[in-house]
Structure formats: structure tokens, C-alpha cells
Amino acid sequence: MDVSPTDLVGHGFLKGMAGEQLAALATCGAGYRSYAEGEFICREGANADEFHLIEHGLVALETTAADRRSLVMVTLEGGEVLGWSWMFPPYRWYFDARAVAATRTLALNGALVRAACQNDPQLGYELTRRIARVVIERLQATRLHALDLYNTHPPRK
Amino acid sequence: MDGEAILEYTDLSQLLSVLHGYGYTVIGPTLRDGAIVYDEVETLADFPVGYTDVQDAGTYRVARRTDDAVFGYTVGPHSYKQFLHPAVVSLWEATRTDGEMTIRTTPAPGAKYAFLGARSCELHALAVQDRVLYQGAYPDPVYAAVRESLFIVAVNCAHAGGTCFCVSMGTGPHATSGFDLSLTEVQGEGAHYFVVEVGSERGGEIFRQVPHRAANADESAAAERVVAEVAGQMGRTLDTDDLRDMLYRNLEHPRWEEIERRCLSCGNCTLVCPTCFCTTVNDVTDLSGQHAERVRTWDSCFTADFSYIHGGSVRASVRSRYRQWMTHKLASWIDQFGTAGCVGCGRCVTWCPVGIDITEEVRGIRLTDGALSGQP
Amino acid sequence: MIERTDPWIPESYHIVKTWREIPDTFTMELKPTDGREIPRFASGQFNMLYVFGVGEIPVSISGDPSQRGILTHTTRAVGAVSRALCDLKEGAVVGVRGPYGSHWPVAEAMGKDVVIAAGGLGLAPLRSAVREIVAARERFGKVSVLYGARTVEDILFRRELEGWRARFDLDVYVTVDHADAAWRGSVGVVTRFVARAAFNPEQVVAMVCGPEVMMRYTARELEKCGVVDDAIYLSMERNMKCAVGLCGHCQFQQFFVCKDGPVFAYHRVKSLLAKGEI
């Protein structure tokens, strides 16, 4: 299906982006995707040819332990962006992403977005800046997460 | 009584007798184990007559004087806090019977003390402790019981110690208030007497029973000279200008690290300090398990346990503990109690085993005000 | 001599009920042994709880301030005294001194939006505030409760959180740091939820309680959303022993956490929180 700039304008990740840039991104749209509870959005190691703007729902980024138990690293919600493996070779998903609740996303084609950014460095800069911001926020959260703040048995100072 | 009076040296023991007659346990300076300490005194013979002390950073020596001065020294390792705020005291006792618990305040010893020979810095230290332990929302009952029956005979210093800096702190050497009686010891040309000032009604009542006469102008002037001379002999100085804010803005000054290299974190400074008030409690039981007691003891912010919360000590490094102690004395105390917690007595300087000198440390920080430690 | 009440003497209470909330955390309900009402307290205050012969610890009050018949405390069994407290059975006697300290600005929050952010056991002293707010819900604007726990098993007051979540007038976000696929909720640090909560940054009061690092970063996220630092409140933890500002242990520069805190407006402690070992 076709994606129009109006589909993009309301998403938190693209908030405030210029009209012509939204229009350029819209041409890279791969369409809306719906995932039932428990359904995988992407699998570790698979081709990352798309990324997702989450409209609503709850998505767990996870990996599988030796006992096949899934370990959830973080969950993402409506308004957040899922996936940045499409940006750099080898374009493969690093983790699993699974819908914890019924989830709807707007998928964008990674190759097309890369090409669009190549053609329009201003779009490329704007998108990279937005992704960098998301990466920084997730990294800061991950660092706090790594501190294991509620561990009741921390090593004694 | 109007004006100042003269108490002859030979009549000082009369003052002691009258105080004893009133039921006071008289606490005065006395020589013990090579130091002038505070303890019960019965007669003039208990006083370190003809002795002085020689003090500097990390050193204290008692020496003979060439005269018979009764108060010819400054302050030793003791302060009055051991009487008002005892190092160990039982707060309460509890008994448990049939699932019920009864808790009763441990009866206070009920001591009625007269402090004879309190220096101006000691009176200021008492005033500081009053604010902390007596005048707040929760007066400490142990302190209050002693404080309320206290009789104070001040002595104006006739000699400044090597680590004294009361002039800098505005706490001496002249005792101006907070006493019942004050004495200035004057010697010379065969004379040896005390110029006495009465500071309270109770002081007047007691003093009326001690032989004395009115002071003449020369005698009063001699006493004033003694105090004025001492003010010029301070062994140390501390610049208090902007002190609180200066320390607050230098919490990450490299000087703290330098201090850490020398500080043993032994807590001597907190023990000898006349205003340090921190305590901890121990809950103990007897063998039957039916009797329990809470015992309060002095504590020191130099121990790791002092700031312990689950997971560890908040002040794990020695530098942070010294910083806590010094900034408390000279900065945060002002916010907490409206006065500095330091009275310039110099005890922490004298009794520090490695001679860390609070006046020197302040000077060092001030000299490079705003410098930042390279370490986090 | 003036008769004074002795600030050191605990009052006797019976344990009416005691139960484990989560593996290391328990709640107990206490009643004065002589049948009188419990002293009035405000949300966020704490009591000193004494176990006969073992010792005394500060424990925040987790119950509803309007409930005068029963005193509710929730704490973790991690030290000698808290373990002994946890081991006590119903009917046992404990000593209680208090309540002490400052409280959550519930009254000041009336007419405004409220953000409650708790981490781990930090939910215990905030539960009082949430109950108070829920009891007078119409007097507050939007109310969000953000709660982070270590694992799913560590979620404190889970049933009550579910009850709050079921209400149409509370936004409740629960997140855990570690989970497997069986968990149907959020995973990630609680600070991430600040930006997602709905509130007017100019008309909001935020109450934050949890480990110091969590509080500091939650406050920073709130500031990023435009909340001023005097509308943010934190509850500090220090070594409180006497609870009345006499023993010196809980000093935090010029503050005695026991009497000036534990609840502080963020702007009063912000610069100190960044320094460490204060």
C-alpha cells in the first residue's frame, strides 16, 4: 500500500519534521503492519530491510538463552522507533522483536530510506540526528539499567 | 554587688568550701598522667598550681612555671562535654514479660556540678552545645538534667596556648557572659589575687560567703591588661571572612586529598572537640533475654560505620570524612544552629597524632579558592 | 525542673498482622498495646521501630494517614534489626518512636497534576501518598504513577498497583529491569516513563522515591520535560539513628535528613546530590 506524508506526520519520532522531508520519507513507506500478541516482528540474524514506527502496542526486544528462555532487554511502545540495523551492513537484525501486546507499526523500507538520504543530505542529516537522539536516550537508559539499581545485595563498598 | 571584687589567692579554697557546702561537685583542672584534665577537686592542692602547658600541632607537654599561678595554662584534652554529654550513658531500660514490654528512662545520676576554671572558649562551647542538645525541638534529657543545675566559675586566660585561636573565632579570651562568677588571676610585686566579676544572682549569693574586698582602679586595670595581652598572643589565626560559603564552594578542592594522605581517621579531633556531639546507641540484653538496655556512646564521623546505609558507607573515603568534620564545624553548623561549631580552643590541632591543623587547612583551601580535584 | 518527654523512649505496639510482600520485603500492621489511637502522621514520614534487645531502625510508614487505628510499615529484611523484625510473629511486641521527618507535599499538589515515581522499595512511603490522593481524587489533576522494580517477582504491592491501573483516573506505568517472555508488561528503567506520562509541566508536583541514582535521573528527566526543580520532591536515605537531629549520623551537609527530610524539594539538594560522599 502507499504511505502518505499524513501517515507520518503524527508519529513522535518524526514530530516537527519539514513537509518535504516527510514527503520524501513517505515514498519509502512499506505499509502498515499488524502483529498479534506473541508474534515476532523480526528475528535475530534475519535481513533488516525494514524498520518500524510503532503506532501502538508493546514490543519486546529480546534474545534467547541456552535454555530457550527469552530474556527481555527493553520494551518499546507507541511513538517509538524500532530498528536501526537497516542503517549499516550487514543489515541484519541484532535481536528478536516480539509483540507483547497487539501492535501496529508503520514500516519503512531501509534501502529506500538510505537511497533517499544519499540523494538529499539534508534529509540524511535530519534523520540521522533523530536516530542519534533515540540511540543516546536508549544508551543512557541502558547504562542506568546496567547499574542494577534495585539490587538489594550490592557489593559492599 | 557593684563593681569588681578582689579574692586573695589564699581565699580561693574558701570558694571551694562554699561550693561544696551548696552541694556542688566541683570540677576543676587537675594534673593527671602528664596532662591537665578536668576532674573532681576537693582543695586547692588538687589544682596544677605552678604548672603550664606547651602546645603545638600534635604535641602537648606539661611544664613548671616560675610562679604559683593557679590557672597558668590553657585547655587540655578534656572539655566539659564529658560531664554534660557523657561518653557512655544508659538512656533507658526495658523489661519484657508475657509479650508485654515496659520501657523506663534510666535514672540520671543527678550530679550537681560547679565548673571552676572555665575558659571563655569553654563557655562558648557550652553555648554551642546548648543550641544543639538543649534548645532544639527535642532537648536531650541527659544534658538538660546537668545543665539546669550547673554553676560556672569562669577564668580569664592569662596565657594563650600554641594552638589557640579564640580571637579569630570571636570566642575569647575574655569571658563576657555565661558564668556565675569570673576570675582574672593577677600576680606581681608580691601580690597574688583574683579580680572577680559576678555574672548572676546565684553567683552573687555564693560569692557573698567568700572573704573578699572591693577592687580598686589599679587592680581592675591590672586584670584588663592580663586579658588584653593574651589576646595578642594567640598561637594560631583563622580567617573567618566568607568562611562558610568559601568551604561550600570548595567541596571538591584538591586539599582534601592532601589531608587524606595524612589523616589517620582516628577520630581524636572529634573526641577532644568541646562541641562534637555525635553519638550512637547500642541495644543490649542480659542473659535471660528479659532485660534490655539502650546505651548511648560518643561516636565519630571519622568511622566508616558512621554514615552506613544498606549497601555501604556513604563516606567511604577518609577525605570525605575529614571534609564532613571540618565543613560541619565551620560551615554547615552555621546553617544548622546559627553559629559556627568551632570555638578556637585548638584541641583538635594539639591532639591530632599527625598534627593536622584546621587553621592551616582552611588557609590552604583559601589560597587556591576554586581549585578542583582531578579525581571524581 | 521542667518535665520533658523523653525523645528516646519507644512506645509499645503489638503486631496485629505481618506478611511477606515479595521475597525480601514484608509489611506489618501494628496497634498500640494500650489500645489508644496511633499518633497522627503525614505521608512520607517514618517511625523508629525497636526489636527488643536487637536494635532500632527507621522504617517509612506505608499505610493511609487517615487510618488512625492501625500503623502500617513495609520494609526489607536486610540487616540484623530488619531481619529480626521480619521474623516476629503476630502478637509480638515492638517499640515505636515517631512519626518523624518531613512529608510528601500532598496538600500543595491539590489542583495540580501529580507524578509519583517510585523505584524498588521506594513505593512503600509513596503508597501513603497515592492512597491519600485516591481518597480525594477529584481535588487533583492528572495523576500518574510510575513504578520500576528489579524483576517481576520484586514488584511491591502488585495487587494494589493493578487496582490503581484499573481505575480510569490514574495512569499507572509499571516496568521491570529484568524479565523473561512470560512478563506482559514493560521492561526498562523507570526514568524512560517520565516523558510518556501526561502532565502539565507548569502545573505539576512530582514525588520521587527510590535509590538515590534513580531519583537523581528521574528528577533530570522531569526537568527535561519542563518541570521546575522546586516542584520535584525526593525522599533521601541516610543513616538515621536518633530521628530527632541529635546523633549526627544522617547529616547531608547542612541537613539532618531525619528532621529536615527525608522528603526534600529537589532544588534544595540538587547540587549536593551531584557531588558524592556528602
Range in B5-9, B289-293, C92-96, C150-154 with the lowest mean pLDDT: B289-293
pLDDT tens digits along B121-134: 999 999 999 999 99
- Chain B touched by A68 (CB under 8 Å): no
pLDDT of B1 > 80? The answer is: no
Look at residue A85 in the predicted model and tell me its pLDDT.
94
Interchain CB distance below 8 Å, C187 and A74: yes
Low-confidence ranges of chain A (pLDDT < 70): 1, 153-157
Distance to chain C for B239, nearest Cα, Å: 21
Give the nearest partner residue to C24 out of A69, A145, A152, using CB atoms.
A152
CA-wise closest residue to B163 among B356, B297, B33, B376: B356
- Chain B touched by C50 (CB under 8 Å): yes
Distance to chain B for C272, nearest Cα, Å: 10
Chain B residues with CB-CB distance to C247 below 8 A: 278-281, 299
pLDDT of B49 > 90? The answer is: yes
Residue B47: burial class (beta carbons within 10 Å; 0-12, 13-18, 19+)? buried
Tell me how many residue pairs between chain A and chain C have CB atoms under 8 A apart.
73
Q: Phi and psi of C149, rounded to 5°? A: -130, 165
- Chain A touched by B313 (CB under 8 Å): yes
In three-state form (DSSP H/G/I as H, E/B as E, the rest C), the secondary structure along chain B is CCCCEEEEHHHHHHHHHHHHHCCCEEEEEEEECCEEEEEECCCHHHCCCCEEEEEECCEEEEEECCCCCCCCCCCCCCCCHHHHCCCEEEEEEEEEECCEEEEEECCCCCCCEEEEEECHHHHHHHHHHHHHHCCCCCCCHHHHHHHCCCEEEEEECCCCCCCCCHHHHCCCCCCCCCCCEEEEEEEECCEEEEEEEECCHHHHHHHCCCCCEECCHHHHHHHHHHHHHHHCCCCCCCCCCCHHHHHHCCCCCCHHHHHHHHCCCCCHHHHHCCCCCCEEEEEEECCCCCEEEEEEEECCCCCCHHHEECCEECCCCHHHHHHHHHHHHHHHHHHHHCCCCCCCCCHHHHCCCCCCCHHHHHHHHHHCCCCCCCCC
Give the nearest partner residue to B310 out of C78, C245, C256, using CB atoms.
C78
Residue of A nearest to B307 (CA): A157
Chain B residues with CB-CB distance to C261 below 8 A: none
Interchain CB distance below 8 Å, B316 and A157: yes
- Chain A touched by C18 (CB under 8 Å): no
Give the nearest partner residue to A72 out of C181, C192, C214, using CB atoms.
C181
Look at residue B107 in the predicted model and tell me its pLDDT.
84
Query: Which of C176, C177, C196 to probe the A interface (max A CBs under 10 A)?
Result: C177
∠ CA(A128), CA(A129), CA(A132), 5° rounding? 85
Domain ranges of chain A: 5-141
Look at residue B110 in the predicted model and tell me its pLDDT.
72
Distance to chain A for B328, nearest Cα, Å: 24
The mean per-residue pLDDT over the stretch B240-264 comes to 96
> Pairing state of beta strands A96-109 and B25-32?
unpaired
- Chain B touched by C244 (CB under 8 Å): yes
The mean per-residue pLDDT over the stretch C254-269 comes to 96
Interchain CB distance below 8 Å, C211 and A150: yes
ipTM for the predicted complex: 0.92
pLDDT of B61 > 70? The answer is: yes
Domain ranges of chain B: 5-88+95-231, 243-367
Tell me how many residue pairs between chain A and chain B have CB atoms under 8 A apart.
9
Chain A residues with CB-CB distance to B311 below 8 A: 154, 156-157
pLDDT of B70 > 80? The answer is: yes
CA-wise closest residue to C46 among C69, C17, C75, C78: C75
Look at residue A7 in the predicted model and tell me its pLDDT.
87
Chain C residues with CB-CB distance to B101 below 8 A: 12, 33, 52, 93, 95
Q: How confident is the model at residue B375 (pLDDT cuts 50, 70, 90)?
A: low
- Chain A touched by B312 (CB under 8 Å): yes
Interchain CB distance below 8 Å, C119 and A149: yes
C148/C154 Cα distance (integer angstroms): 9
Look at residue C29 in the predicted model and tell me its pLDDT.
97
- Chain B touched by A6 (CB under 8 Å): no
Distance to chain A for C26, nearest Cα, Å: 14
pLDDT tens digits along C30-64: 999 988 889 999 999 999 999 999 999 999 999 99
Interchain CB distance below 8 Å, C76 and A152: yes
Residue of C nearest to A76 (CA): C186
| CATH class given for the domain over A5-141 | mainly beta
Cell 566568607 identifies what position?
Answer: B242
**Strand positions, DSSP E, chain C:** 11-22, 25-32, 46-51, 55-60, 71-76, 93-100, 113-119, 143-151, 171-180, 186-187, 204-209, 232-235, 251-252, 255-256, 263-265
Chain C residues with CB-CB distance to A101 below 8 A: 184
Q: How confident is the model at residue B376 (pLDDT cuts 50, 70, 90)?
A: very low
- Chain B touched by C254 (CB under 8 Å): yes
Which SS3 state, helix, strand or coil, does residue C150 take? Answer: strand
Look at residue C5 in the predicted model and tell me its pLDDT.
61
Interchain CB distance below 8 Å, B310 and A152: yes
Q: Of chain C residues 231-270, which have a CB less than 8 A from chain A?
A: none
The mean per-residue pLDDT over the stretch B287-314 comes to 92
Chain A residues with CB-CB distance to B312 below 8 A: 154, 156-157
A84/B245 Cα distance (integer angstroms): 50
Q: Of chain A residues 137-156, which have a CB less than 8 A from chain B?
A: 152, 154, 156
Task: Walk me through the domains of chain C, giving residue ranges and CATH numbers.
Answer: 11-100 (2.40.30.10), 113-235 (3.40.50.80)
pLDDT tens digits along A58-89: 999 999 888 878 899 999 999 999 999 999 99
Interchain CB distance below 8 Å, C214 and A69: no
Q: If you ran DSSP here, which 8-state letter would residue C264 be given?
A: E
Look at residue B2 in the predicted model and tell me its pLDDT.
60
B75/B55 Cα distance (integer angstroms): 10
Give the nearest partner residue to C238 out of B140, B277, B314, using CB atoms.
B314
Look at residue A65 in the predicted model and tell me its pLDDT.
82
pLDDT tens digits along C221-240: 999 999 999 999 999 999 99
Q: If you ran DSSP here, which 8-state letter would residue A120 be given?
A: -
Find out whether B347 and B275 touch, Cβ atoms under 8 Å.
no
Which chains are within 8 Å of B by 3+ CB pairs? Answer: A, C
A52/C211 Cα distance (integer angstroms): 34
Distance to chain C for B285, nearest Cα, Å: 5
Give the nearest partner residue to C12 out of B101, B133, B139, using CB atoms.
B101
Tally Cβ neighbours within 10 Å of residue A22.
18
pLDDT of C172 > 70? The answer is: yes
Residue of B nearest to A155 (CA): B311
Average pLDDT of chain B is 94
Chain B residues with CB-CB distance to C49 below 8 A: none
Find out whether C191 and C163 touch, Cβ atoms under 8 Å.
no
Chain A residues with CB-CB distance to B308 below 8 A: none
- Chain B touched by C89 (CB under 8 Å): no
Interchain CB distance below 8 Å, A98 and C214: no
Distance to chain A for B311, nearest Cα, Å: 6
Look at residue A1 in the predicted model and tell me its pLDDT.
58
Q: Which three cell numbers stand for residue B324?
A: 564532613
The mean per-residue pLDDT over the stretch B210-218 comes to 94
Find out whether C73 and C61 touch, Cβ atoms under 8 Å.
yes
B235/B167 Cα distance (integer angstroms): 10
Provide the phi-psi class of B132: left if phi over 0, else alpha when psi is between -120 and 50, else beta. Answer: alpha
pLDDT tens digits along C203-212: 999 999 999 9
Cell 543527678 identifies what position?
Answer: B110
Interchain CB distance below 8 Å, C154 and A62: no
Q: Of chain A residues 64-123, which have a CB less than 8 A from chain C?
A: 69-75, 77, 79, 98, 100-101
- Chain A touched by C63 (CB under 8 Å): no
Give the nearest partner residue to A145 out of C24, C76, C177, using CB atoms.
C177
pLDDT tens digits along B173-199: 999 999 999 999 999 888 999 999 999
